[in-house]
Structure 1
Amino acid sequence: MKTLTIIDTFGFFFRSFYALPPLKSKQGFPTGLLTGFINFINNLVAEEKSDYIVFALDSEGPSFRAAIDPNYKAQRPTPPEDLQKQLPIAIDWIEKMGFKTLQKEGFEADDIIASLVKCAKQMGIKVKIVSHDKDLYQLIDDEKVVLYDPIKKEEIDEKRAEQKFGVPVKLIGDYLALVGDSADNIPGVKGIGPKTAAKLLNTYGSLDAIYAHIDEVTPPRVRTLLEQGKESAYLSRKLITLRDDVFDSCSLEDYHLPQINPIVKIADELMEYDITAILRKLKATPLIKKSQTQIEFKAICLDNEEELFKVIDTIPQGAIVAFDTETDSLDTKVANLIGFSFSFNEERAYYVPIGHNYLGVGQQVSLDSALRAIKRLFTYNIVGHNLKFDLSLIYRYGIEEITDFADTMILAWLSDPGSSVGLDSVAKRVLDYDMIAYKDTVKKGEDFSNVAIDTACRYASEDAVITYKIYFKLLDTLRSQNAAHLIDEAKEVEFPFVNTLIAMERAGIKLDIAFFEKLRKESEERLKELTQKIYELAGGEFNINSTKQLASVLFEKLGLPPLKKTKSGYSTDETTLQALKDKHPIIAYILEYRELFKLKSTYIDPLLKYAKKDTNHRIYTSFVQTGTATGRLASKNPNLQNIPVKTEVGRQIRYGFIAKEGYKLLGIDYSQIELRLLAHFSQDPALVQAFQEDRDIHLETAIKLFGKDAAQAKRNIAKSINFGLIYGMGSRKLAQTLGISAKEAKEIIESYFNAFPTVKNYLASIEDFAKKYGYVETLLRRRRYFDFAAASGAQLAAYLREATNTVFQGSAADLIKMSMNAIDKIIKNEALPTKMLLQIHDELIFEVKEDMAQDLAQRFASIMEHIYPLRVPIKCSIGIAHRWGDLK
């Protein structure tokens, strides 16, 4: 079983500070905490062999508990000066060593830990919590979650927790609610000590049960104390209860244990603070390379035109040239070119400074000369890492579009689509080489133009030469995986797609400012109305966005039946509220408030802000080609792919996107593409025939399942099954979707497979192939790998669902990607008065000249329908309108 180790960071540091002697460096700086921390890290890496490590931090501001009780932690004394001096250094070391911290505004480390525990348990991963915090004992769950004492090197399980508190783990929260915690100013019940609390809980079974049987409590003195302290007890329980819903979703992929001892990375600083014993033990000195692999190369600064072109003249004909730019911003629409680097062999790399700006800056190459040099370099076979960034910047300077290039980020993604594809990560994974970190090169608050040219030369040259080396290594990796066909797929589809995306990002999409201002105003007014209505029905004011306060109002004050309990209290999630909708009129208003609040804060306000920054009121998203394991395109800053359409207010947001004057928006959407792919792959005769004859596939399915008479009424059920099976949906999920029993859902799925036996066999074959070979392939034979060997039962089931999903979703991504490339080529070659603006999974949105909209719609749809021969026809639906919301 894999293991996640979570460090209660500040708790650990405080304990280390007081547990170790007051050590000092030769300069008199306190180092006891730092020494203990480094020894702990060494033991953790060398002995514990955890798969994932996270350092949980408190948020910098007050937590939500301060709103519950202003006295919470109010009397904590100021930490000793020596502790305060060491804390920021220790925190800084965490990231420098390659570990990750996790925090969220308004929450404490305990809540972060509880949420990670919930996530890990769902994934079948064991959790070790490094902490002695009493509150965290609530999370212990034998074989799944333990507390860990790094000094004694002992795990604390349920048995030891019960020995400590005298009550079972499930009652520790109630125990602490009774006895309180003076360190955190949690009052508890005055006069009730540990023994009395344990006796009460073991007798009655819970805090609620104690008060339910208060008349039976003896002796009378204890009963009186409990009666007088009831409000305090329940307040304390609220403060002690851990939130495990801090994150909407979680992934542990960013928290892998570093492959080499991370202490080596801070060897210089350890020497500075005279913490040298551990370095001698590791045989490490500041002179040792940061990685196991030493890569030697010359970094040469070309700071004058003559030398620059002299080097370029030496590049052999047909050479591969690795290229990278340095800028003063990550936004290529406004970034300035500060310099560029290139390399055409493994021995040396060159940096060309252009726009460095600081007192005493040395000689640099003029922008005009640099651009002429780049044009020359682009006549060779260019290789880059994330070339979409570099090319979108260079094109802005008037460089013509280049088509002969390779991108190592894309190759890395094709070879392992589930791993991080940043240059630093790929260098480590492919070459076992640690690159110079950007944060160690550019000071906080500055940009690359402030970096000394000598420092920039080493940093930028490394990017180029490592990209050069990685390129050949990744080609070898793909060949060794028997996936050489993906090299061709990259050349034919993925690399050209970079330029397609650049054109889309530069186009942007226009926002109707007046429409959005009106939408924002209406949303604010409606939120005020809803707030007042909720207060009236609740009988008082409270924080509607606080799940704790909302639960208190619904289940304690209004007496509604709680349906689901989590460790942090009764659930108020959407499923719960929907189930309670008929129980009280307040529920409908809360649901509407939540939806509107989310839409306003997530979409209306941010999109309006983005649009106002641009003189043409256009919004420019960034498309991420390598952001998903299935191959689907992702959108960020802002994400325009997830604008909701299921609710009226959500749909209104799409109406705020418009075409510029004289143009129309054109939407072309693949019709039921994943079902057509199912027919293509499975070759099921009934499915194939239905599509070939252009029949209603959902109605056909309903006829087969329920007969002709009931088919029309049950078409939606058939639709849910058709799409659900592609995503690996089982009977439980189908039951939830349709609101039927699990037994009924199981019978429907069995009937479906009896009606379409070839489909059942094909879906089973996907799982069999995945388990046998460890991967699945899409239409263009892109692969997604799965670590079945290390998977738990729950993970195995999830992997098999993802395997099925990847075949269909990934193949649909292949089709639309090929179509986008073909359409982009036509638009550019014919200089058509149209721009491709957005891709929303199976839909493309264009801005087209009004008088050409119909013709281009038919032409582009035809390209999409004939881009790849399937066994069934591909069909598209077309919409033309001024506003995005009117396209369908």
Structure 2
Amino acid sequence: MSKTVTIIDTFGFFFRSFYALPQYLKNSQGFPTGLLTGFTNFISTLQKQHDSDYLIFAIDSKGPTFRNDIDSNYKAHRVAPPEELMMQLPIAIEWIDKMGYKTLGRVGYEADDIIATVVHFAKDKGYNVRVVSHDKDLFQLIDDGKVVLVDAIKKKVMDEDACLEKYGISPKQFIDYQAILGDSADNIPGVKGIGKVGAEKLLVEYKTLDNIYANIDEVKPPGIQKKLIEFKADAYRSRELVTLREDALDSFDFEDYKMDVEHPFLNIYDELVKYEQNAILRTLQAKKMVSDETHQRAVEKIETQIQSDKKIDFKTTLITDEKELNRVLGSLDKESVVAFDTETTGLDYESDSLVGFSFSFEHNEGFYVPIAHFYLGVPEQISRDAAAKAIKKIFESRVVGHNIKFDLHFVCRFLQESKLAIFADSMILAWLVDPEGGLSLDKLSDKLLNHQMLSYKDTVKKGETFAGVALEDACKYAAEDAVITLKLYHLLLEKLEAQGAKHLIKEAAEVEFPFIQTLLTMEREGIALDSAFLEKFLVEVKETLGDLTAKIYALAGREFNINSTQQLGVVLFEDMGLPTGKKTKTGYSTNEQVLSLLKDEHEIIPHLLEYREVYKLFSTYIEPLLKLASTDKEGRIHTSFVHTGTATGRLSSKNPNLQNIPTRTKLGTKIREAFIAPKGKKLIGIDYSQIELRLLAHFTKDEVLVDAFKSDKDIHRQTAVALFGEDAADAKRNIAKTVNFGLLYGMGQKKLSETLGITTKEAKEIIEKYFNSFPSVRAYFRQIVEDSKEMGYVETLLGRRRYFDYKNAAPMFKAAYERESVNTVFQGSASDLIKLSMNKIHRVIEDEKLDAKMLLQIHDELIFEVDEEKADSLGERFKEIMQSIMELNIPLKASMNIGDNWSELK
């Protein structure tokens, strides 16, 4: 199914929202709230529809744009907006970020150019685009089946027909229409004396501005002809001014703008109370998403905030003198706890560089050391040599960071060292305190310290890097990071003790913090990619897509955009008359579930399903992987592992996500062939066998399960025997396998019936028989749920906790908590085991200087690159470490495969 991108013309929407609602709307403190009310209504509508995959808030950047270079009068005389609007605007912009969404802008460009650029990238990917705006300048982007404008106030969609109805011309003519007409509000001259009717008539007859002037001698009446000739330069300058740029960004990753914020209003609940957004508050309370107690706490918090300024007092000190730097660092010893943070030119540790660093060892003072700021008139900074000595001195103490893995990448490269010792990470501690809470430094500061931090976007100008920030401003921002990190570190230790989870302080020191070093090394190593193979595969995939496209067109009887859900819906359900469900506002649903149900209705459906699968691999994996490999001098792919990305503790990866490459398809398998062992090397894959079921046997001590694993029997066949008898066991082993794993993940009778293609009654009978056959399993599951309700949390093997607020949860959430409590014990404990194994193997490789690299973790599997001659011996050794990492009631078992590429490891 083609994805949908929603782009908000942010300031345009806010202005329209401000004027659309009554100006008398204010909270009890007299603060205007009309714009904020319109915004919350809009977000509420978006959440209800949820028919978009990506959501982008395009914004204007401060300062002149390239259009001012074309014409210095451009927008020179715009009237200042009303004060009440300007009071609300920064709050609404902040809410975007706080709710979990993102803004997008760039210095030198307007929001409309950003929108046009994103539309360009979206169309390249075959995505559909909805631009939320009433701005006529954006009509030039309309492209039926691909791009439409949406008036969020009037709830109206503007497509090519709407453009033709309103202006008498097509969207493709709109640039030339504006070039003739001009825009007095923006000081765009146009052709003086020609209005809307005249511009429309000219374009209906001559189609384009160029064609008008190519036939200028034929233009009638003479008065219009004269004006066109006299103001020709103005017309072409106007066309240049109104043409939206598609090159405002060099590249764009839609995955950074996923519309996956489940409950955005909960993130700004206190502010909804402050600005009295009562309609939304009532909805949240009616849905039981917040309790009366939570609401009262928010009210009390706001009342307190009104009486006090939301800031912590501390000193920030800029150090640009080497002697002063040495004097300050002279206060440190090996027992000193020092919060450390870096400022860099960007987020890519391979291509970006260190700009400066901050540190704090006193609760109320932070220091910033600039190294590589670059702007006109920049004062003298600390030399690289002096900075290197200072950083080494700091790392002789107990260094604490917030997401310090990021900082270590830059600092290790700066110092040309492979490893630096760390003491703690406040982000990890925050995750252990609340694995489902926000973990960013600013969110934790706001939540736990009641301190609102300086924002990056207010410190660094759009389109620039931290290197361009004035030293004084950089110091305020960077030193604050270090101070807040230190305060959070001590506070989070107190919180763990207050939760009765002091054991997690030890777990963090022994497992989680060393794991940072393990992941750091894996990220640095990367995995080799055979670009030549992948390029050849790319050609094959393009040919496959071409063949499928031709077949689909032939069966449909016409050409259309296969990636457009709207066009596909029309083809399938109107042109071809296939049976369909209810039509939505945006057209017919053509998602995978709908198409799967139509498999037997027409031969076009299997081709469409195959096309989508192939296109996803092409756009999500093949092209991005080739691009990433081309930027690495060794042609290796470096994923980023997210330590705190899940509540259960399971590791995830991003940029690129190598854990989600499909495993059950030929194409997915072929992509894995591109990940290779370099010459003289081999890849080793070691996979835990049925680790969660083994944990089930360990925790429940069920005699049948324990005996099966101790005797190395086929656990799925043993389950099939218990459920269906000896004679049917072999035939129904797969059903038993589905039940074994499904029940661990909270699969109920409805889901089981859908998965197995049986009735819910049959599914219920199977589940009942399973629990009757393994009574200790049922009892253990019940015990987990009862304990989670009584204590408010469950624990994994290593004592990591996941908390459940049953008291304030709606019934729907309570049922989900019950499933998740069981799942967390097993998936979380499995994560503990593989994390322990990874740490131990990392230490062995490092201590013994083995010719081996740990490259990837794919859930229960580890992938290594080793010397070809030592592959068997090292593989067996690593396998033994994984199998003996912890003594359980049953043996842990792992399987090993050796190959020249990833696909050979299964």
Give runs of aligned pairs for residues 177-576 of structure 1, distance below 5 A: 250-252=261-263, 256-257=267-268, 259=270, 292-316=309-333, 318-396=335-413, 397-399=415-417, 401-562=419-580, 568-576=586-594
CA contact (8 A) 1:53 1:255 kept: no
User: Which position in structure 1 is the counterpart of 2:693?
Assistant: 675
Supply the AA of the counterpart residue of 1:854. D
Q: CA deviation at 1:527?
A: 0.7
User: Which position in structure 2 is the counterpart of 1:39?
Assistant: 33
User: Which position in structure 2 is the counterpart of 1:166?
Assistant: none
Distance 1:431 1:734 in 2: 46
User: Which position in structure 2 is the counterpart of 1:638?
Assistant: 656
Distance 2:835 2:315 in 1: 40
CA contact (8 A) 1:291 1:434 kept: no
Any idea what SS the aligned residue of 2:566 has?
A: helix
Q: Does 1:871 align with 2:889?
A: yes
User: Which position in structure 1 is the counterpart of 2:671?
Assistant: 653
Give runs of aligned pairs for residues 98-177 of structure 1, distance below 5 A: 99-100=98-99, 106-108=128-130, 133=154
User: Which position in structure 2 is the counterpart of 1:75?
Assistant: none
Moved more, 831-840 or 538-547: 538-547
CA contact (8 A) 1:630 1:806 kept: yes
For normalisation by structure 2, the TM-score amounts to: 0.73
Which of 828, 831, 834 matches 2:849?
A: 831
Supply the AA of the counterpart residue of 2:606. A
Cα shift readout 1:139-193 (whole Å, capped 9, x = no counterpart): xxxxxxxxxxxxxxxxxxxxxxxxxxxxxxxxxxxxx99xx99999699xxxxxx
Moved more, 836-845 or 775-784: 775-784
Q: Does 1:857 align with 2:868?
A: no
Supply the AA of the counterpart residue of 2:647. A
Give runs of aligned pairs for residues 688-727 of structure 1, distance below 5 A: 688-727=706-745
Q: CA deviation at 1:689?
A: 0.8
CA contact (8 A) 2:442 2:452 kept: yes
Which of 70, 75, 94 matches 1:96?
A: 94
Q: CA deviation at 1:398?
A: 2.4
Moved more, 853-862 or 767-776: 767-776
Distance 1:463 1:508 in 2: 30
Q: CA deviation at 1:314?
A: 1.8
User: Which position in structure 2 is the counterpart of 1:14?
Assistant: 16
Supply the AA of the counterpart residue of 1:40. G
Any idea what SS the aligned residue of 2:387 has?
A: helix
CA contact (8 A) 1:323 1:384 kept: yes
Supply the AA of the counterpart residue of 1:357. F
Distance 1:502 1:870 in 2: 29
**Residues 565 and 757 (structure 1), Cα distance of their counterparts in 2 relative to 1, 3 Å cut:** farther
User: Which position in structure 1 is the counterpart of 2:831?
Assistant: 813
Moved more, 92-101 or 373-382: 92-101
Distance 1:297 1:755 in 2: 64
Query: Which structure 1 residue ranges, 5 or more long, are not aligned?
Result: 1-5, 24-30, 62-77, 112-129, 137-175, 188-245, 265-281, 283-287
Q: CA deviation at 1:567?
A: 5.7
Count, aligned residues: 717
CA contact (8 A) 1:52 1:257 kept: no
Any idea what SS the aligned residue of 1:256 has?
A: helix
Supply the AA of the counterpart residue of 2:341. D
Supply the AA of the counterpart residue of 1:359. L
Supply the AA of the counterpart residue of 1:882. D
CA contact (8 A) 1:13 1:37 kept: no
Supply the AA of the counterpart residue of 2:446. K
Any idea what SS the aligned residue of 1:257 has?
A: helix
User: Which position in structure 2 is the counterpart of 1:158?
Assistant: none
Any idea what SS the aligned residue of 1:535 has?
A: helix
Q: CA deviation at 1:13?
A: 3.9
Q: CA deviation at 1:469?
A: 0.9
Distance 1:184 1:488 in 2: 70
User: Which position in structure 2 is the counterpart of 1:804?
Assistant: 822
Distance 2:57 2:360 in 1: 44
User: Which position in structure 1 is the counterpart of 2:248?
Assistant: none
Supply the AA of the counterpart residue of 1:371. A
**Residues 561 and 37 (structure 1), Cα distance of their counterparts in 2 relative to 1, 3 Å cut:** farther
Cα shift readout 1:209-263 (whole Å, capped 9, x = no counterpart): xxxxxxxxxxxxxxxxxxxxxxxxxxxxxxxxxxxxx978552258611535899
**Residues 568 and 739 (structure 1), Cα distance of their counterparts in 2 relative to 1, 3 Å cut:** farther
| CA-atom RMSD in angstroms | 3.9
Cα shift readout 1:118-144 (whole Å, capped 9, x = no counterpart): xxxxxxxxxxxx9764569xxxxxxxx
Q: CA deviation at 1:415?
A: 0.3
Supply the AA of the counterpart residue of 2:428. I
Moved more, 595-604 or 571-580: 571-580
CA contact (8 A) 1:45 1:261 kept: no
Cα shift readout 1:266-321 (whole Å, capped 9, x = no counterpart): xxxxxxxxxxxxxxxx9xxxxx9998543222211121211111111122551111
CA contact (8 A) 2:370 2:471 kept: yes
Any idea what SS the aligned residue of 1:664 has?
A: strand
Supply the AA of the counterpart residue of 2:18. S
Supply the AA of the counterpart residue of 2:93. E
Q: CA deviation at 1:599?
A: 0.7
**Residues 882 and 487 (structure 1), Cα distance of their counterparts in 2 relative to 1, 3 Å cut:** same
Cα shift readout 1:333-363 (whole Å, capped 9, x = no counterpart): 2222211111111132211111111111112
Supply the AA of the counterpart residue of 1:604. I
**Residues 16 and 298 (structure 1), Cα distance of their counterparts in 2 relative to 1, 3 Å cut:** closer
Any idea what SS the aligned residue of 1:632 has?
A: coil
User: Which position in structure 1 is the counterpart of 2:778?
Assistant: 760
**Residues 686 and 782 (structure 1), Cα distance of their counterparts in 2 relative to 1, 3 Å cut:** same
**Residues 131 and 506 (structure 1), Cα distance of their counterparts in 2 relative to 1, 3 Å cut:** closer
Any idea what SS the aligned residue of 1:623 has?
A: strand
Cα shift readout 1:493-539 (whole Å, capped 9, x = no counterpart): 00000000010000000111111011110111111111111111111
Q: Give the fraction of aligned pairs with identical amino acids, expressed as a percent.
A: 50
User: Which position in structure 2 is the counterpart of 1:125?
Assistant: none
CA contact (8 A) 2:432 2:801 kept: yes
Q: CA deviation at 1:775?
A: 1.5
Distance 2:165 2:56 in 1: 16
Supply the AA of the counterpart residue of 1:352. V
CA contact (8 A) 2:13 2:132 kept: no
Distance 1:420 1:846 in 2: 33
Q: CA deviation at 1:763?
A: 1.1
Any idea what SS the aligned residue of 1:465 has?
A: helix
Any idea what SS the aligned residue of 1:374 has?
A: helix
**Residues 259 and 16 (structure 1), Cα distance of their counterparts in 2 relative to 1, 3 Å cut:** closer
**Residues 613 and 375 (structure 1), Cα distance of their counterparts in 2 relative to 1, 3 Å cut:** same
